[in-house]
Amino acid sequence: MTIVIDARLNAYRNGGIPQYTQQLINAMAEVAPKTALTILQHRRQPKPLVIAPNITRKTIYTPPHHRWEPLTLSIEINTTHPSVVLFPDFIAPTRRNFPAVVTIHDLAFLHFNDLLDDNAKAFYGRVGVSSKYADGIIAVSESTKRDIVQLLGIAPERITVIYEAAATHFVPLPKVPHERKRINNIDVTANTFLLFVSTIEPRKNLPVLLQALRICRDRHPERNYHLVAAGARGWRETPILQQINTLHLHDAITLLGSVADDDLHWLYANCRIYANPSRYEGFGLPLLEALACGAPALASNTSSLPEIGGDAACYIPPDDPIAWADAISQLWQADDQRDAMAQRGPIHAARFSWQTAATQTLQLLAVVANPPQ
């Protein structure tokens, strides 16, 4: 059996789907060393994504999300003689002569009309047709599965839930009192900050955290509440950042922008509180990464977040800044509670693993490639 995996997006982006693809391929190579894996990489990324004895790199000329993709991609894939093809980026060509499995990470773009630009809408707008003709569908959470059923009209028995996981290097770090780290030329001091990790865009709901921070500082100015935000600027970020001016929070916020992976690890492991106020997440990987590093975590009580965080995090309505302020101020001062959460988080996060995800994905691909008679 030859399994083909579409990794073309990794040549263009470094975000959630490319990371999912990379981690899954790494784990597949490890758990199934005798299974042949062919990785489709765009020609602009000549370096192999993963090097292993059972992996073959295949150069593809069709760019991801290209208007000719539905036709030309199938032609290129046919040269690999696949038993089955995994498409981690939602969409599989409907004109094909090979079985295909798609991974659907979330349907946020169906919940929030202003989330995508026109080109992205044209590509992801094909998710309904792609899902209808897919031979297998992976959802990364039960929450996403419910969305696929309700919003796309797909029968639940056609959908397999396979959880993502935090990368194995996300673990607690030794605590060094008053440790300082220079990140993107900005000094950050351990245990003095509330941490937000995300692209700055409307769905991630940074404004409710800004309002809560303003309330906290007004109530207890002596506590010196401070927010560190790690993440690139995204879609419609300007009105969000303008709130910093409106709320007079210049001295209370550090905007780091995108950070290197080792810096992100340090931030998770050394924040006083991690906060995820998102309105919607298909999986919520930063929450799981934070828990794996021992961060006391607050998250919205919506979509997949309670499913992924379990009893290791505390949950708050996403549009209630007073409730967020109450939770932040209470946990900020509760040393014993933070310590208990720091112990609980890594234990909970260990229930998710890329080895398990890889094994379950390989099992699904094998069934699709050789369906029962």
Describe the strand order of the beta sheet including 100-104 as a list of residue ranges. 55-60, 36-42, 2-6, 84-87, 100-104, 136-139, 159-161
Buried b / exposed e across 103-123, counting CB within 10 Å, b at 16+?
bbbbbbbbeeeebbeeeeeeb
Where are the domains positioned within the chain? 2-165+353-369, 180-349
* Pair type for strands 273-276 and 253-257: unpaired
- 72's CB contacts (< 8 A; 6+ apart) are 61, 62, 66
The Cα 356–Cα 183 span in angstroms is 33
Helix (H) or strand (E) holding 160: strand 159-161
Decide which of 3.40.50.20, 3.50.50.60, 3.40.190.170, 3.40.50.2000 is the CATH code for 2-165+353-369: 3.40.50.2000
Q: Return the ∠ at Cα 242 (arms to 241 and 246), rounded to 5°.
A: 125
- N-to-C CA span, the chain: 18
Give me the average pLDDT of each 10-residue run along the chain (373 residues): 96 88 97 97 96 97 93 96 97 96 94 72 88 98 98 98 96 94 97 93 89 97 96 75 90 94 97 96 96 98 97 97 98 98 98 98 97 80
Is the CA virtual torsion 18, 14, 57, 26 positive or negative? negative
Question: What letter represents residue 54's amino acid?
Answer: N
Tokens representing 146 are 């419910």
Q: What is the pLDDT of residue 115?
A: 64
Query: Residue 220 is inside which H or E element, if any?
Result: none
pLDDT for the residue numbered 16? 84
* C-alpha closest to that of 23 among 131, 162, 134: 162
Question: What tokens does 132 get?
Answer: 């209808």
Question: What pTM was estimated for this model as a whole?
Answer: 0.93
Sheet strand arrangement including 194-197: 253-257, 227-230, 194-197, 273-276, 297-300, 314-316
What local confidence, expressed as pLDDT, does residue 203 receive? Answer: 80
Bridge partners of 189, per DSSP, are 180
Helix spans in the chain (H):
16-31, 69-78, 108-111, 118-124, 127-133, 142-152, 206-219, 238-246, 261-270, 285-292, 305-309, 321-333, 335-349, 354-369
Q: Are 86 and 361 in contact (CB under 8 A)?
A: yes
Cα–Cα distance measured from residue 366 to residue 364, given in angstroms and rounded to the nearest whole number: 5
CATH fold match for the domains 2-165+353-369 and 180-349: yes
Asked if residues 299 and 306 have their Cβ atoms less than 8 Å apart, the reply is yes
Best CA proximity match to 88, nearest among 282, 288, 232, 258:
282
Q: Per the structure block, which two tokens stand in for 21?
A: 């693809």
Residue 241, CA atoms < 13 Å, CB-side half-sphere: 15
The pair of three-digit structure tokens given for residue 101, joined into one six-digit string? 């499995």
User: From 3.40.50.300, 3.40.50.720, 3.90.1150.10, 3.40.50.2000, which CATH number describes the 180-349 domain?
Assistant: 3.40.50.2000
Produce one character per residue of 156-174: b if its CB has 16 or more CB atoms within 10 Å, e if not: eeebbbbbbbbbeebbbee
Cα–Cα distance between 141 and 161 in angstroms, integer? 6
